[in-house]
Amino acid sequence: MRENHAKNRQLVKERVKAGRKKAERRELGSALLVCEGECTEPFYLHGLLQHLGINAASVEIIEGQSKSNAVAVVNRASRRFEQIPRDRVFVLVDAEQADLARALKLCKVPLQRANKKKGLPMICIEPIISTPCFEVWLLLHFRYCDQTFRRFADVLPELQASLPDYRKADPRIFMKVGGGEGLERAVLHAARLRAALAQTASKNPVTDVDRLVEALRAIAPPAQN
């Protein structure tokens, strides 16, 4: 009899533990990341996900296409969401894009969930904008910079001063900009830059990638001791 009670208690513990794990997986959520860039952003994001311990089942990364514009990126995100709904959808675009204003309007249109009958809320695409380009975010991994940049060509020499061998098609870009330590610096510098620009009329340079990082951290599994 005691043996049966012990087995029952063990079964209950296992069920409770399994239920907790299942609940944790639901809370972690999922995301879709659609990039304007073909190489730099996807390579960086893959490194970031690996650093955070997030697998491809939770977060999907879609690389950019040749000569794609901001509207095209948003449309691709919308189409992919219709195929595989996610809890959050992000598009990474540069402020250099001439059609950015139109793309931002499209982001405000709620996405229709394929499984909306289950009572899940509709969501909107969340734009992650870097002004003038994604390389500003990479630069912030090395140092704080509030210098005004008109275009990518202006940012490049500043980035190469800290990363002489920078190239867009570098699959190790996340580690090249400092890995986890560089990431923490960039997050702090981006927040500081946003706060500084809020006190002025300037909107350049700035990046929202730190906000994406925080969203991904909420999806990442708990650190293992």
- Digit-coded pLDDT (tens) for 104-157: 999 999 997 655 656 667 899 999 999 999 999 999 999 999 999 999 999 999
Q: Which residues of the chain have pLDDT under 50?
A: 1-5, 7-8, 11-27, 224-225
- Looking at residue 172, its pLDDT comes to 97
Whole-model pTM: value is 0.84
Residue of 74, 82, 4, 70 lying closest to 33 (CA atoms): 74
Q: What is the DSSP track for 76-131?
A: HHHHHHHHS--SEEEEEEETT-TTHHHHHHHHTSPBPPTTGGGTPPPB--EEEEEE
- Looking at residue 135, its pLDDT comes to 97
Maximum distance among all alpha carbons in the chain? 79
Three-class SS of residue 201? coil
Which H/E stretch holds residue 59? strand 59-62
42 upstream amide cis, omega within 30 of 0: no
Q: What angle (nearest 5°) sits at the alpha carbon of residue 168, between those of residues 180 and 91?
A: 70
What whole-number distance in Å separates Cα of residue 125 and Cα of residue 111? 8
Portion of the chain with pLDDT greater than 90, in percent: 70
